[in-house]
Amino acid sequence: MPRRRRLSEIERLTIAQERRNGVSAASLAARYDVSLKTIYNVVNHRDERQTANGSRSRVVGIRVSDDDLRRFDAALSRRGIAHRSDAMRRLMLAAEGVFLPDDEMCDELRSLGAALNRVGNNVNQIARRLNEAKVRGERLSYPASSHRDVRALAGLVFDLADQVQEMSRARRSVLDLEISSALAGLAVGDANGAE
């Protein structure tokens, strides 16, 4: 007996939405590699849950600035998504994956912070020695080793900035993929069964 594919909650929501928009059950079964019976069960289960609740959904109110709302609507428009509420529902379902911290990025930032701290301590010692010499009226000593430490700090700061920027770009790419996946199937063209 072949093993049946298990649908994610987002896929179930997408199937129910697309059936409401008139996409055929056969088309959905082929796209998601499941049986027709599974498609009908998903849609019926969704309808039963909504009936058992006594309402389709719970209304959640949030306050956002006009500018934030315009940017959100523009982002949806770029993806061809017409309904803000459908997008919000999908993003809420995907929130568990989207808002998890990136452990690898956190570890890398801790490592970079430790390296910066070590070099910063050396620079503080250089500054203390220079200040003490100035207070005593002595000639300021700035040996080659101190100059190397300051140059190392400058290099580390530039490397740190580059690495943080690269980690930020990588994390943004991952988030963009997760958000695009969560919003898949909501575009106006997709609602008509186009593949």
Query: Taking Cα atoms as reference points, which of 90, 84, 113, 80 lies closest to residue 192?
Result: 80
Tell me the per-residue pLDDT of 117-140, one tens digit each, with 9 for 90 and over: 877 787 788 788 888 888 888 887
More confidently predicted of 154 and 55: 154
What is the CB neighbour count within 10 angstroms for residue 33?
10
pTM of the model: 0.40
Task: Evaluate if residue 20 carries a pLDDT over 80.
Answer: yes
pLDDT on residue 66 = 92
- Mean pLDDT within 77-81: 84
pLDDT on residue 186 = 74
Rounded Cα–Cα distance for residues 155 and 187 (Å)? 47
Task: Report CA 3 to chain centroid distance, whole Å.
Answer: 32
Tell me the per-residue pLDDT of 151-181, one tens digit each, with 9 for 90 and over: 877 787 788 778 878 877 887 787 777 777 7
Q: Where are the chain's structural domains?
A: 7-59, 103-177
